[in-house]
Structure 1
Amino acid sequence: MTHRIEMHAGARPVAESRVGLLVLLLAVITLARLLALRFSVTDLQVDEAQYWDWSQHLAFGYFSKPPLIGWTIAAANMVCGTGVACVRAPSPLFYFGTSLLIYATAVRLYDHRIAFWASLGFAFAPGVAFSSAIMSTDVLLLFFWALSLYAFVRLRAGGGYRWSLLLGFALGCGLLAKYAMAYFVGCALIAAVLDPQSRAVIRSGRFWLAVAIGLLLLSPNIGWNLNNHLVTLRHTNENISGDGLKISLGNAIGFLAAQFGIIGPFLMGGAFAAAIAAWRKGVPDEDRMLLAFALPVILVVTIASVLTVTNANWAASGLVASALVGTAFLIRADRFSLVRAGLVIGIVAQVVLIAGNTIADKVKLPLLKHGDIYKQVLGWSRLGDAVRAEAKASGATMVVTLSRADAAALVYYLRNDPVAVTVWPDDPGPDNQFELTRSIVDHAPTGPALLVAGCAEAARLGPFFGGVEDKGRLTIPSGPGSSRQYQLFRLDQPIAPLRTVPLCVRDAD
């Protein structure tokens, strides 16, 4: 059963005006988001600062992620520099593209009305409003997932090999953004079970040609991993396994609730309602196909969240199809008021987030146990300023840190200074990119160095340096009611080869 609505001639001007209005609205919100980045007072969070460091050392792979995000930030830096707003600027632009792809896909599957509201619903989803203010791998993943879905839909409609080429390109780029793109192939196989037209695509060589192209594009990253002891794959596996089995139904409930919050309660509710209707054989084939690209990802991560700790964004790839099928189901069920209500929620969330980011250093929610909700993106530039001043006063040519968070912040916020930033690992195996490429064991200081540590004991530094001077405590505010504490040491006169060793019982990020 198909639900494709053909547009007769009289409807074409209406459709064209709707496209124009959509592009205008998406352009306005994209411009607003870009301007908001300029006026935001937040610092780069740890992952963003780490990704920026990757952009300065282009490679086919990095410790925790494939390389596309580093390449993307490098391209943005070439256009507008290395400031915080520029590092984050690709995010709103990619979401602009993702929203247009959702429109194009929905037009092929349904009609212009559903396409218009699905695109807007996604663009203003609370999770997208939040994510557009940071630079993350999910931004790139969602774009290439949407592009892959569009190419798959064109193949499903009988498109030729040019759509195989596009699908292969999108799959490859998606894999270079985040390995979760691999879900797409599994979802396509499930779609083949539920939808006759998708089955024809999978049975044809057009789909498998696309998969081969995607793997070919990923091959340089595979080679990088083979040459670096499979560090990215091992790190990904460690993320999935976490700290081992911790069976908790509450984790699964929390994860599912987060999905409703990310895409919006009504669109996600519409997607689940469509799934129930599909079980009763009451939806068109287009819905079944989209459900295959949405719910399996959410279901897999939900099951995983029963067994271990998961993050809300691990099912992000399922949100594109969720927005599409949720919108289509609600409009067909004469629940357009819910579509509008979801859009209102998203707009309010966007306004609140933009306003909050401009006064983040003053925001504290008194009813929450940890009221400084911006703690993770505040204080890092101040840390850079304080360390810069102390390094200059101490004559240090190297700054030494103990944690990934501090290393990422100092690498970025000391980017225009001649001082080198290294990290002192506490065990032989690298635990992050900085321990892989900036270990003090491999880059021993040739002059005075400044150790910046959440905690450290002078007695543990004595075997390595003849001169260990305690420079006192450093307190860096990270919000109206929170701060980070550091101990500073000036290190000089090395007397023994440096080696990996714990410098304190616990290093606080």
Structure 2
Amino acid sequence: MSVTPASDSSTWLNRFWWLLAAVFIARIGVMLLFVNGADLAGDEAYYWDWGRRPDWCYYSKPPMIGWMMGVIGALTGNAEWGIRFAALLLGTATLVIIHRIALVLFDARTAFLAAVLVLLTIANAGLNLLLTIDAPLLLCWTLGLLLFWLAAQKPTCNTRWLALALVIGFGTLSKQMMLAFPALMLVFAAVSREDRALLRNPRMWLAILCGMAFIIPVLQWNQNHAWITLEHTKHHFDTSSLSFGRWLSRTGENVGLQALIYTPVTFAALVAAMIAAVKLRKQLSRPLLFVMLASAPALACFALLALRQRINPNWPAAFFVPAFILAAAWLRGFAPFKLHPGWERWSLRVGGALVLIVHLALVIIFSTELKGIDKLASLRGWQEAGIEAQEFLDLVPEPENTFVMALGHRYHAAEMAFYMPSHPRVYRWEPSDTVQSQYEIWPGPEERIGSDALILEPGPVAALLQNVVFTTAFEKIEYRGNIRIPLGKETREFSVYLARNLKSWKPVGSSIKAPDKTSQEGIQERR
């Protein structure tokens, strides 16, 4: 099949920009409804709390998401809409770059198709609503693909290699997955005959080394904290023996989730395009070889890993980006592929229907009383709970000498920190006495000796009064009441206590804490 004639290129480019503008405006509307009807997800509030204490790494992730949250909070006054709008901007920028890659590799019509295929997925809808670590990673990954191709086209251009090095570096600071990007570059240079000279090009090696050098402060931070991020990451690969039936169910769940978030027919087209490309690899043009090598080998590895353990749907997300571009070229019938008009038609129909259903559901749910359904309980009630917690804090005898502590899941501390109007520093108690979140890495209540504590315990039962850890740490503890937010059949509930005069506190996971001179001096002064 021939490429799009030059006379039609401007038409397809105009269609893309008009489509992008329409989708952006529509998603702003959905975002505002979402902000009005749902609170921050637990991870979003957790990362926002990271942003208030910038560092070179955090418990489970590199620092970029924390830095971004800090900037967003400073620019928007810690407004919820700022976080949602940042997700929309990052998702839109990623889509523009995907379109640009396909345009550079193939033609305007293929680029339009690739962008539409991505748009018509549930995964893309989620990426534009929730701000997680995948948003900056995918932006860096797609920009890295574009810059590497442009650098390979003009291997003596220092500016392109420098830009690529920076993107690799920022991607590495976003998520550990970016460390796989240099391997992708080397594989393409080794396999593509036209590009093997890149292996002798010092600019490519310098770009790789300079980009990966961004990980050095992250490694230094981990060295000072007993490699806690590595220990956390290792748990993702823990597995246990299962019966054949449960193994089959888990494997089917892995495949089913991927098919759902990328829509079934489009997912089938992605797989079919990669299989066809691998079979015809010796006949592939250089652009097709590039997107095939950037997607198929890694996704095949994830498929094998899925036979061993449960796979989070977002893990292979970066490798699906070039897979969508490959699928668009396959659907368009670029040689040596054959034209498959039925695939394109049904992929767009099914994808469009599912995404339309998802967006209509969001509009209906968050603009009506349906937002009270139990399945959304985790995204509701935090704002009201935070306001009530603030009222309790305002009524204590010495608010300026009272800190807040939340028990239970790390999300409890993060959501209270965000939704209490004063945005206090919220501490967390970990009963296992091991580091389970960033809250155990930061200095704990040991830096507040002599202070009072407003303690929020999840649940309606006043159990803290019998907890020896707290009854011995404080001079006395008073039960002050409870916070109760009805959520349909569910209820968000906390018991509230005022603990007077913290006498002592054993730091959790003290063996991994780096000495904090300021905190230690403050403790001595209060003593």
8 Å CA contact retained: 1:103, 1:119? yes
Corresponding residue number in structure 2 for 1:126 = 122
Q: Which letter does structure 1 place at the counterpart of 2:426?
A: V
Any gaps of 5 or more consecutive residues in structure 1?
365-370, 502-509
8 Å CA contact retained: 1:252, 1:303? no
Mean Cα deviation higher: 211-220 or 103-112: 211-220
Q: Which letter does structure 2 place at the counterpart of 1:145?
A: W
Among residues 110, 117, 122, which one is paired with 2:113 in the alignment?
A: 117
The CA deviation string for residues 423-459 of structure 1, in whole angstroms up to 9 with x for no partner, is: 1222443221122225223434513533434474422
Among residues 210, 229, 233, which one is paired with 2:226 in the alignment?
A: 229
Q: Which letter does structure 1 place at the counterpart of 2:505?
A: L
- Please list, as runs of the form range in 1=range in 2, the aligned pairs for 1:268-307 lying within 5 A after superposition: 268-281=267-280, 284-285=284-285, 286-307=287-308
8 Å CA contact retained: 2:404, 2:455? yes
Corresponding residue number in structure 1 for 2:522 = none
* Aligned-pair CA distance for 1:356: 4.8
Q: Which letter does structure 2 place at the counterpart of 1:215?
A: M
* Aligned-pair CA distance for 1:134: 0.8
Mean Cα deviation higher: 462-471 or 142-151: 462-471
Among residues 224, 240, 244, which one is paired with 1:245 in the alignment?
A: 240
Residue 470 of structure 2 corresponds to residue 465 of structure 1: no
8 Å CA contact retained: 1:98, 1:146? yes
The CA deviation string for residues 132-169 of structure 1, in whole angstroms up to 9 with x for no partner, is: 11101111111111001111222343443332222212
Q: Residues 14 and 53 of structure 1: is their aligned pair in 2 closer, same or farther, counting only changes over 3 Å?
A: same
The CA deviation string for residues 147-202 of structure 1, in whole angstroms up to 9 with x for no partner, is: 01111222343443332222212111111111111222333344456543454444
* Aligned-pair CA distance for 1:407: 0.4
> Distance in 2 between the 1:294 and 1:324 partners?
10
8 Å CA contact retained: 1:246, 1:307? no
> Distance in 2 between the 1:398 and 1:413 partners?
15
Q: Please, what is the CA RMSD of the aligned residues?
A: 2.8
- Please list, as runs of the form range in 1=range in 2, the aligned pairs for 1:491-502 lying within 5 A after superposition: 491-494=499-502, 496-499=503-506
Secondary structure of residue in 1 paired with 2:375 = coil
> Distance in 1 between the 2:9 and 2:98 partners?
15
Corresponding residue number in structure 2 for 1:161 = 158
Secondary structure of residue in 2 paired with 1:463 = helix
* Aligned-pair CA distance for 1:64: 1.5
8 Å CA contact retained: 2:269, 2:347? no
The CA deviation string for residues 465-494 of structure 1, in whole angstroms up to 9 with x for no partner, is: 2322233454333x4222234333221144
> Distance in 2 between the 1:235 and 1:80 partners?
32
Secondary structure of residue in 2 paired with 1:491 = strand
8 Å CA contact retained: 1:187, 1:293? yes
Secondary structure of residue in 1 paired with 2:495 = strand
> Distance in 2 between the 1:50 and 1:218 partners?
22
Corresponding residue number in structure 2 for 1:504 = none
Secondary structure of residue in 1 paired with 2:28 = helix
Percent identity, aligned pairs only, is 23
Among residues 75, 82, 93, which one is paired with 2:78 in the alignment?
A: 82
Secondary structure of residue in 2 paired with 1:374 = helix
Secondary structure of residue in 2 paired with 1:322 = helix
Corresponding residue number in structure 1 for 2:520 = none
Structure 1 outlier segments of 4+, above 6 Å: none
Residue 29 of structure 2 corresponds to residue 35 of structure 1: yes
Residue 65 of structure 2 corresponds to residue 66 of structure 1: no
> Distance in 2 between the 1:448 and 1:277 partners?
63
> Distance in 2 between the 1:123 and 1:173 partners?
25
Mean Cα deviation higher: 279-288 or 318-327: 279-288
Q: Which letter does structure 1 place at the counterpart of 2:9?
A: A
Size of the aligned set, in residue pairs, is 485
Q: Residues 214 and 63 of structure 1: is their aligned pair in 2 closer, same or farther, counting only changes over 3 Å?
A: same
> Distance in 1 between the 2:380 and 2:446 partners?
30
Corresponding residue number in structure 2 for 1:408 = 414
Corresponding residue number in structure 1 for 2:360 = 352
8 Å CA contact retained: 2:274, 2:327? no
> Distance in 2 between the 1:407 and 1:484 partners?
14
8 Å CA contact retained: 1:398, 1:445? no
Corresponding residue number in structure 2 for 1:476 = 485
> Distance in 2 between the 1:275 and 1:255 partners?
19
> Distance in 1 between the 2:296 and 2:447 partners?
47
> Distance in 1 between the 2:28 and 2:197 partners?
42
Corresponding residue number in structure 1 for 2:92 = 96
Secondary structure of residue in 1 paired with 2:185 = helix
Q: Residues 195 and 346 of structure 1: is their aligned pair in 2 closer, same or farther, counting only changes over 3 Å?
A: farther
Normalised by the length of structure 1, the TM-score is 0.86
> Distance in 1 between the 2:446 and 2:430 partners?
8
Corresponding residue number in structure 1 for 2:203 = 206
> Distance in 1 between the 2:251 and 2:489 partners?
31
Corresponding residue number in structure 1 for 2:348 = 340
Secondary structure of residue in 2 paired with 1:73 = helix
8 Å CA contact retained: 1:88, 1:133? yes
> Distance in 2 between the 1:449 and 1:322 partners?
51
Any gaps of 5 or more consecutive residues in structure 2?
334-338, 509-527
